Structure 1
């Protein structure tokens, strides 16, 4: 039996019996090092070097900033702006949830964090308007996944580090696809809500209440302007922007809104520690990725797929199906670290821009957020709404369909991702 087959069997068995993913990857990597007689120090060296890149600090800082903005009152004011903008239409609270998640996604960089921040307010509101609870939870889970597509995105940061792609270019590339997916989610919400008769009295939009809500939430609106404007204006790097976001959230929560207490600050720190603990996956997965290069797996995958087809669209569809399947049981961060090294060389050999492939990867990971048994966003939304994963898993299917349509649009019109980066920074080389 070949060493490669032994490693595949070992990884699958460890995953199936419930070994934590970081341990399963680490043990498989250790077995591989034993089989090919490479010193185990590779794991330690990779573990150290994988956690030293300065941009990695961006992830916990953005998560902390997002949580501080949530408990400090900024998320509530964003919901107020969204309510006055789309709250009069059929399915009003559902539309508000999607729109508010899009706004908050520009602050948190995390899908589960966005789901928790917005869902904790809008799910109870939808219950009061007699929404079907699984439907309300599925809106929150699917819209919360925008936290990984709208910049700043933690998954884009990881992809940028692994693939050595410009993180600011990735951030810019996510804006238009993020808006497209937001519109698809809002359309799905509206169609289902209209069919079931949920919410909204059909009153016309009025500028007065909307402008008053914008004025009340001006500090909330200012956050993404400051963060993203500073990055794209060349004032600071994404990592520095994350630090600025934390201080901005502290200032607004303590001085302006005065809703940030010591207890809420401690809660934000605990939340950040729990959510960013997943970074432990980086060390073993990067070592595992080095072994894929040793076994020349990227070339084998490239030869195998190109033997079937060299059509760019079909290749991306095949990769997308694989990513979506893997996302049902694998954490998105590990998915990006493990498989970017395998599929990116194939993509670039077919003339696919690494930035476009990064956004494509993030969208497939978002679908993974919504598919059991892992489904991070499903777990958060189910906890907020008080229902089982099984019930929300069925209700979320139309929204998964919206994400798949968004993925297909991206595949067919790749300029949606490269337009803004090329406009601001010039064509990539």
Structure 2
């Protein structure tokens, strides 16, 4: 049997079987990758190569940004920032029908972009907004669907840990360009959710319940400005070349910590628990990156990405159809795999195919992140739908149907992002971060 086919079977069947019996995905990927290496080199060399690739994969200055951004997100989750952003979102939603639903969406976009976590946004914003919406007569299923459907927008609106991982595995794509490229797709997704919620709110007669005077709106906005400045400082500094993404992540930690102390929402005794939680999350991500580096090496050594590319191109030479196939695969993968391992595994496979058609790696990175972000709201694995259902106090079965219009809108926006490159590339080009 050809080595590439044997390796592909071991990787595919191995990871699948381990996941079925309940082995964590990082361990599943690691074991399957090491077993695959043993088919092409002897035992001693296989162990040595696996260890080298694992540590080489994690030995990157860029990856230091991940623990810092994770820690910054943890501080913000506990630092009273969510409530201020919700209040700011109320001002943005204005007097539209279903204004509380739109407030939820705006707040998820704001908080998700600051924390970089869709799960954190769904939990922090959802726990604040759900009781308010229920009190005003909104159906809990609708409120939960709005919260879940809009939470992943923060994975596209920077800073985004997934984009940092993509930058690493794609061969050094500019993090600054990826961050800036995520703004318009993320905002379009959020606006799509608002449009769906507006149609449903009009149909059900959900009126605006937000009545703030100009003075109150001004106070709410001013109160939220220090929190919003975090994005300006981090992204502005990266784009302006003042500091790197890694340095920006450390600045984000210091700024979030100072802000939380000023708000008096975090005490010194709270820090050990926050640090421990950030350490757990970071260790999982970095271990996954390490074992995925083993898989990437064995796939590259046996030219599996090239074989997959040749197979796809032999089916059709139409770029539109090939992109559609890749998106369908990524949407399917996203339903049972977290975004980080999916990025690590499928970027080396699909990126060369996309580049063979002249696609910019920044554009393709946004496509991958968008696809896998949708996966976070789809069962059976989607973490956001689980958190959102728990916050709403509803079973997942009761949320799936109300969530479908928001899912459909996300797919529509995804297709726009896929087939209209300017949506992703307009801002990076405007800031001279890429050139076409």
TM bin, normalised by shorter chain, reads over 0.9
Q: Does 1:262 align with 2:265?
A: no
Distance 2:186 2:313 in 1: 30
Q: Does 1:172 align with 2:219?
A: no
Q: Note if contact 2:108-2:150 (Cα within 8 Å) is conserved in structure 1.
A: yes
Partner of 1:196: 204
Partner of 1:28: 32
Moved more, 104-113 or 77-86: 104-113
Partner of 1:301: 308
Residue 284 of structure 2: which of 272, 275, 278 is its match?
278
Q: Note if contact 1:93-1:199 (Cα within 8 Å) is conserved in structure 2.
A: no
Residue 6 of structure 2: which of 3, 21, 26 is its match?
3
Partner of 2:372: 365
Q: Note if contact 1:63-1:272 (Cα within 8 Å) is conserved in structure 2.
A: yes
Encode CA deviations 1:191-242: one digit per residue, 9 max, x unaligned.
1222223341586x86443222111222112111111111111111111111
| TM-score scaled by length of structure 2 | 0.93
Distance 1:202 1:337 in 2: 44
The alpha carbon displacement at 1:56 in A equals: 1.2
| TM-score scaled by length of structure 1 | 0.94
Encode CA deviations 1:237-256: one digit per residue, 9 max, x unaligned.
1111111111111111112x
Note the 1:56-205 alignment, pairs <5 A: 56-163=63-170, 164-201=172-209
- Partner secondary structure for residue 374 of structure 1: coil
Partner of 2:431: 424
Partner of 1:241: 248
**CA gap 1:66/1:11 in 2 versus in 1, 3 angstroms:** closer
Q: Note if contact 1:324-1:365 (Cα within 8 Å) is conserved in structure 2.
A: yes
The alpha carbon displacement at 1:277 in A equals: 4.0
Q: Note if contact 1:155-1:333 (Cα within 8 Å) is conserved in structure 2.
A: yes
Residue 399 of structure 2: which of 392, 395, 415 is its match?
392
Distance 1:142 1:172 in 2: 22
- Partner secondary structure for residue 53 of structure 1: coil
Distance 1:60 1:416 in 2: 30
Distance 2:74 2:202 in 1: 33
The alpha carbon displacement at 1:89 in A equals: 2.0
**CA gap 1:224/1:18 in 2 versus in 1, 3 angstroms:** same
**CA gap 1:67/1:10 in 2 versus in 1, 3 angstroms:** closer
Encode CA deviations 1:272-310: one digit per residue, 9 max, x unaligned.
234334312111112111111122111111111112222
- Partner secondary structure for residue 88 of structure 1: coil
Encode CA deviations 1:51-81: one digit per residue, 9 max, x unaligned.
2211212122112212322322222111111
Distance 2:198 2:279 in 1: 36
Distance 1:270 1:15 in 2: 27
Q: Does 1:414 align with 2:421?
A: yes
Aligned residues: 427
Distance 2:311 2:92 in 1: 50
**CA gap 1:96/1:202 in 2 versus in 1, 3 angstroms:** closer
Distance 1:48 1:260 in 2: 36
Q: Note if contact 2:110-2:154 (Cα within 8 Å) is conserved in structure 1.
A: no
- Partner secondary structure for residue 195 of structure 1: helix
- Partner secondary structure for residue 392 of structure 1: helix
Q: Note if contact 2:176-2:433 (Cα within 8 Å) is conserved in structure 1.
A: no
- Partner secondary structure for residue 151 of structure 2: helix
The alpha carbon displacement at 1:106 in A equals: 2.6
The alpha carbon displacement at 1:150 in A equals: 0.3
Partner of 1:14: 18
Q: Note if contact 2:136-2:209 (Cα within 8 Å) is conserved in structure 1.
A: no
Q: Note if contact 1:133-1:385 (Cα within 8 Å) is conserved in structure 2.
A: yes
